[in-house]
Each structure stands twice: as structure tokens, then as C-alpha cells.
Structure 1
């Protein structure tokens, strides 16, 4: 019997949608217990429930999974298995969909979302984890029976057996051979949307790098990042970051930033007293570098009042505040959303009194008009597509569309204009995005500068090199002699950081 015929025999209630179904509150098959496999294990169930929550509520897996594991009492190996299964499936969804499409005789978008998520979980166990094929198939079929129904379970069994007949390398060779062009081949094998793959390829070229690095960049996006901590200067010494945390907690020095320490796997950052009380925090090393570079950039005149224009959720604001405290400067943190402003206040809790002048809630686009020339240093950490942090939020690549760029780039330009109005003559503005997309980086800056004659581009590369760990040699790409040779673009596959962009500007 074909997969389609088996699928058509499923209970009609299997087409229901909703979060209640995703938590296992949907129908159960009337199949006799002797004919039905036992319920699947809690780790696989947790991974499935995370995928359904991500799909039905636009939630982020890194916010859904930890409390779910605690709620269900999963720890150790079970928690590790559920984490790898959920995150790995989300990261490699595009690759697995391309393979599954060759094993299902109907378009994947005609399958129920619940069934498709079960198939993706099974494919990851077969092709991306060290799970024996018989266990991957039987446990995934049991998961389908438990969470979806007996009818689809028969189709799931047939499809996963077809997937498991060939090793991953053979499947990837087939994807490359059948792709209509090189970008599509990269996208399917590297599990990114085609438009994102093309944009990353163009960004590498725009930064003067070899477009042959695209595959390495996609692979880096599919590699789980290690947890990096920031030791906020003056609040905690980086070498004392683990004090009071127990003998089994270890960190390693960061590669670039003197404030960075990498947490050895298996430790919850919240277990460190310095993190719990706000003297330290979780922050990507690239994020630390661009913040340190703003504070190190040369300016003319006073250096007493700093602004974080888009401060939520507060990591860069907390590092800026710690740096400001050491120079007797004050920080104003602005955030549009009240709930994100609360996160900023929480992140600033360990900063000495008097350093944080205000955490204000308001539209950053208006601040330049409200307080013209009032600040010496301004950070514009602009809202963006987040294509530079796909290794941390794998589901983002499947949510973003090219249509998002028009809205975001317009907002980014307006925020940068406001920041340049808010900084005084001789002051410095840092334009930062967690995206390497040319439309969100160099093109935004170039467009703003075309409409102003009072701004000079500074050497952001020199500023970053000035704040590196002593002796570190960082590859920031070729200097093309133009504006791009002054900006900084970090890369996951080169620097082990998020793909942060930094432009430094001085108002004349």
C-alpha cells in the first residue's frame, strides 16, 4: 500500500490544529493495546512538543525548552537527547525536508504539520544523530501514535524506512546533483532558505571574502555555539568569574575580548553567583567586541554622557554602563517596548548608583529631535533580521522573508539619523547589527551618509584591534581602500562569534 493510501486511512481528527494537540491533548487511536506500540519516551515527546510550540505560537526554542525540561523532570542524558533532537531538527529542517520530499509521494505542504514535524524528528535521528535505525524508526512511529494517531503512523513508518536505506552522504550527493543551481544546492545541503543563502554569499563577497566560504558559513550556523559570558569591568574580574560556583564549574578565556569567558559544557550560567547578581552575564563575544570598540573609539572633547538607543534586552547596555562607571560617565538606556525596558533595568542591577541616568521608554527615532547634540557616545544596536545569530535561534531562518528587509532597513536608517542628531559634534556613533546582509549594513550607512554632510566614517577595525586580548591577531578581511575597509564584519566560521557588523561614525 502506498504512503498516500495509508495516510488517507488516518482518523479524520488527525487534521486538527492547535497548541492543545501539540501537547498531546488530541485524539488517541482506538487501536487495540496489543496492536499498538508503547508510548514513546519523554525526551522525544519533549522535542516534539517544542517543535509544535515553535510552529503554532512563533516561540523560540531556547525559551520553550528549558522550562519544559524542568517541568517534566528531564535531566542528564534525557535532557541532552531532547535538546539535540529539538535544536538539531530545527537547524537542519531544510535539508531534511529536501530528503523527505524524495520519499513522500505528495508535496510536503499537503501533510499535516504535526506529521511533518514527526518525520523531521525521525530524519534527524536517522541522519544526524547516533541513534540505531531500528530505534529511530520504531520510537518515532510510537511518538506519532501517541501524539498524532495510528493512521499517520503507518505512513511515518514507511517514509522513515525509505530515508534510512541510504546514508547521509548519499542523500547530500543527490541533493547537489539535482539542484538547479549552485545556490540552491548550498541552501538544501546547508539547510538555509535560498534567499538567505544568496544574501550570505553576497555579504561575503561585499566584505572582500571568497564566496567559496559560503558552505563553511552555513555549517557554522548549524553548529551549536558554546555559552560565552561577559565579565563586566569593575564589577567582577574575568579571572574570578567562577568564584563561589563550585569546583566543577570551569571557564576558558575568550578568543578576542578580554571580558569574555567561555563556559565549559554542562554548567548552567545561572549557577554562577556573578551571573545571578548581574556582575556578569551571557553575551556573545562579537557583541562584546563591538561594545568595547565604541567605548574605545577616539572622540573630540568631553566624554561624560552615553546613550544606548535600542537597549533591549540589555546586554550591551550593561557592558556600556560598567565601562562608563570607570570613566565617571553616565548612561541613558532607551527602549521602545516596556517589557524589554524592564529587562534592561534587570541587567543593570549591579551597576553602581549614579551611573545609569535613566532607563527610558520611547521611540528612538524621536530622541535625536528631543535631545539634539546631548550625548558624547551613542550605540545604535538596530533591530534587524538576525541573520547573524542563526546558530543561536535556528527557527529564525524559516520565519524571515525578503519582505522583512524593506521595513527593517527603513527603520534602521531612521534610527541612525536620530542617533547622529543626538550625538554632539565631535562625538561618536556606533551602528551595529547582528546581520551581515548588505542591505542592513553598508547600504543603510551609505544611504544615511549621502543625505548628511556632517558625518565622517571612522576606522572601526582599528578600534576593534585596540580592545583585543593582548597578542590576538584577528582576520577582519581585506582592506579595499574604501568605506568597507573601515567597517568590521565578524563571521561565525571565521571568528566563532555571531555575524556582528560595526560602523563607527563621528559627527563633524
Structure 2
């Protein structure tokens, strides 16, 4: 990840010759906050759009500037390295962000080359000083001399010589991530997945059972989704908060894949009691709200556990419209305060690398490293152990990750179940009715390029 350095900014250098374009300025400041302060693009951008009162085309343009620049950052760095006379790590990070923002407009947006360069020079003068504007002008003019595919040909090896490295550069993913995906998919499907990761995500809504309906969301301008009976897609993006059901908590924003894995847990066959459910890693609470809505209809109760207080507050906010005596605990899921076997169904949606949600978190691909996957592995195994201990005999556990990386999915399940004689892995595919291409089982891996969802993984485990 890039790190900031101190740059010389005198008051004289801070005076622009003319005002920069407001939308581009907002986009640049969002990118700076994401790259310099490890902010989350979706959260920072939404706040910036509200504060700047950008809507309609301006909001859409700003969103593409931010998401596109962050998504293609590594590829643009490879292009820019050919256009400057020093290593990129010697450039001030704020200058590099401006160059990437300009490169995105020139190569992947329908922006006139002259306008793109001129606006970025003006922005440079306003944000980081006159003396940098000459370099920005020269570099971006070099970038504009080739099309995107021509730049790829100049910096990436031919596909037949090194297909994974070619895909990593041409489709803007770190090589280690491409190699991980290639352990599960053939080269052609890897390319399809990377393309899907680079598409702008849809805004998917959930009509919480018993509180709202998909018909209500459709009447508010959404359309029915493909797989989940509670899902709708907000056409053309926009602010979901303008929909009354969302504003009141009767509906929410939730990817269809997240809905499907929670529904699979809720619909798994169960004999005996079915009144006590546990969400072991609850924050920020989207799946908790769906499970609470469902268990409420069965006269049951959800207990949601979250170790961080501020995320526990998010869970409570998601549950605010749901009736019933549901409980949110601030605590460590690996150190239960309840008796063993207390629950009938347990969701363990464990912390993971998040490689399954790269459409929604464009910056995440460049932040994560193989070390992050290795560091999370012990916690994932501990949480799964705790989940199995927490469920009664005959009860079911859903082990879930928002990552397709094999070291975070089946490898964790095999490691835990290999040490236990009281838990078995069941075939979960029947719990995804009408959803195609679920693989050989018994676990389920959803994919952006197959199902159009985040790459959610689910293993269904029954305690015996």
C-alpha cells in the first residue's frame, strides 16, 4: 500500500489559476482519504457525495472516477512507471493519485483527452501546487498517446508466455490473488471472474421477512433479483435510503449472495427444537437482521455476538425494526459465555480477506497480501470450533466467508472437522434451489461471474 511523504506546499503554490472542476476535486479528495488513511471507498464516497450535495450525473461521474481509479490502480502504476524518469515510490503519493485519476479518464472513460489533461493540471495547481502541474501535464500527455490495450501490450507479457501475470496486469488484480483463483478455476474462467470483479456492483436490497415485501420494493423502483425470494435490485443505483422500507429498517441493502447463505442455514432440515439461533460474528448486522426476521416467525430468538462496540451498534441498528427479544452481545466469539450446545442453528460468518467482494471494495485488492490470509487462519478455525461447540446435537452450523480463497474456505473446514468425531459436513447444494453451477459439493461457492453475487462460501456442518 502507498505511504505518504511530506511535500512542500507554500501559500503561493496553493493558489490555482482557475477553479478546478468540483466533481473531480471531490473524487480526488476521496481517493486521497482512501489511499492515505486506509478509508473504505464506499463509506468515504457516500459521505463526500452527501456533503458536496452531488446527485444524478455528477454523483455517477464522481463514483466512476473514484471506483475506477482505485480498481485499476496497480495497472495504472505499471503504465505510469513507463512515463516518469524515477521509481514511482519516489513520487509523492498525492501526485501519484492525481496521475492515476487522470489516467483513468484518458483510458477507460469517455472523456476528451484535452479536457482530461487540462482539468487534471488545474486540479494539481489547486491541490498540490503549481510546480507539479508541468509534470502532470507531460505524463498524462504521454499516457494519452496510446489506448488502454496498447499500454497492456507494452507492459504485460504475452498471454501464452505467462497467462496468470498477463491476467493480473490486464485485469487489475495482484498476481497472488489471480494464482489463488486459478487453484479453483481454469484460465478462461479466471478471466471471466476478474472481469466480473471489475464491473460496477448493483445495489441489491432485501425485503426483511414479515416486515416488507419484494412487491413493495418493486413499487419503489426496484426490480426482482434472480435467486433470493427476498431480493430486489435498485435500478440505476441511487440512494436506497429514499425508499421508505429501507429508511425504516423494514428492508436493507444486502448482496444476494449474503442472503442466500443465511437462508441456507435457516432452511436446513432440523429435527426437534428450533427456537435459539446464534450469529457468532454479527457485525455489521445484515445477516443478523435476516435471521432475526426468520426466527421471529418461528417464535424464536436470535443472539448476535460482535467483539467491537461500534459494530455492535450497527447490528442493533439493523435489528431496530424487528420485533422480539433478540439480543446483541459485545464479546469474543471464541470465548463463549453460554453453555455448550445452547443453540439450534449457528452462523459463523468469520473475518476473512474479503476477496469475494472486490466489486464493492475496489481498493481491497491492493491492500490485502498473502500474509493477511495466513494471519486470519487461526481465528477462523477457533470460531468454527466455537460454533460447533455452541450448537446442540442434531443442530446445524453454517461456516461462511466472503472469500473464495481455498485457504479460508474448505481448508479451514477440513482442519477443524479432522479433529472432531462429533460433526459432519453435509451437502448444502439443495438449499440453493434454482441456483445454477454450484459445483461438486458438498460445500457451496458462489461467484460473481456465475451467479452475479459476491463470492460467498458456505459449508453446512451438523453436530452428531
Of the three residues 348, 370, 381, the one matched with 1:380 is 348
Cα distance per residue 1:138-181 (max 9 Å; x no partner): 11111111111122211111111111001112112223336873
Contact 1:488–1:502 at 8 Å: present in 2 too?
A: yes
CA distance in 2, matches of 1:174, 1:288: 43
Structure 2 unmatched runs, 5+: none
Question: What TM-score, normalized to structure 2?
Answer: 0.95
Change (3 A) 1:174 1:274: same
Asked if residue 81 in structure 1 is aligned to residue 37 in structure 2, the reply is no
Asked if residue 297 in structure 1 is aligned to residue 253 in structure 2, the reply is no
Asked if residue 456 in structure 1 is aligned to residue 436 in structure 2, the reply is no
- Find the counterpart in structure 1 of residue 374 from structure 2: 406
- Find the counterpart in structure 1 of residue 452 from structure 2: 496
Q: What is the CA distance between 1:222 and its match in structure 2?
A: 1.0
Structure 1 unmatched runs, 5+: 1-13, 205-209, 244-248, 466-471, 480-484
- Find the counterpart in structure 2 of residue 10 from structure 1: none
- Find the counterpart in structure 2 of residue 332 from structure 1: 303
Change (3 A) 1:347 1:51: same
Cα distance per residue 1:453-493 (max 9 Å; x no partner): 1111111111122xxxxxx351112x2xxxxx211000011
- Find the counterpart in structure 2 of residue 207 from structure 1: none
CA distance in 1, matches of 2:389, 2:289: 24
Contact 1:95–1:191 at 8 Å: present in 2 too?
A: yes
SS of 2:156's partner is helix
Q: What is the CA distance between 1:76 and its match in structure 2?
A: 2.6
- Find the counterpart in structure 2 of residue 151 from structure 1: 131
Number of aligned residues: 460
1:29-108 paired onto structure 2 within 5 Å: 29=12, 37-108=17-88
- Find the counterpart in structure 1 of residue 189 from structure 2: 213
CA distance in 1, matches of 2:277, 2:153: 53
- Find the counterpart in structure 2 of residue 223 from structure 1: 199
1:478-489 paired onto structure 2 within 5 Å: 479=440, 485-489=441-445
CA distance in 1, matches of 2:451, 2:308: 32
1:73-472 paired onto structure 2 within 5 Å: 73-177=53-157, 181-204=162-185, 210-241=186-217, 249-354=220-325, 356=326, 358-367=327-336, 370-465=338-433, 472=434
CA distance in 1, matches of 2:30, 2:199: 19
SS of 1:453's partner is coil
Question: What TM-score, normalized to structure 1?
Answer: 0.87
CA distance in 1, matches of 2:307, 2:437: 35
Q: What is the CA distance between 1:182 and its match in structure 2?
A: 2.2
CA distance in 1, matches of 2:301, 2:19: 58
SS of 1:439's partner is coil
Change (3 A) 1:473 1:66: closer
CA distance in 1, matches of 2:214, 2:378: 39
Contact 1:133–1:164 at 8 Å: present in 2 too?
A: yes
Q: What is the CA distance between 1:328 and its match in structure 2?
A: 1.4
- Find the counterpart in structure 2 of residue 27 from structure 1: 10
Q: What is the CA distance between 1:266 and its match in structure 2?
A: 4.3
Contact 2:218–2:224 at 8 Å: present in 1 too?
A: no
- Find the counterpart in structure 2 of residue 475 from structure 1: 437
Asked if residue 505 in structure 1 is aligned to residue 461 in structure 2, the reply is yes
Q: What is the CA distance between 1:29 and its match in structure 2?
A: 4.1
CA distance in 1, matches of 2:435, 2:158: 41
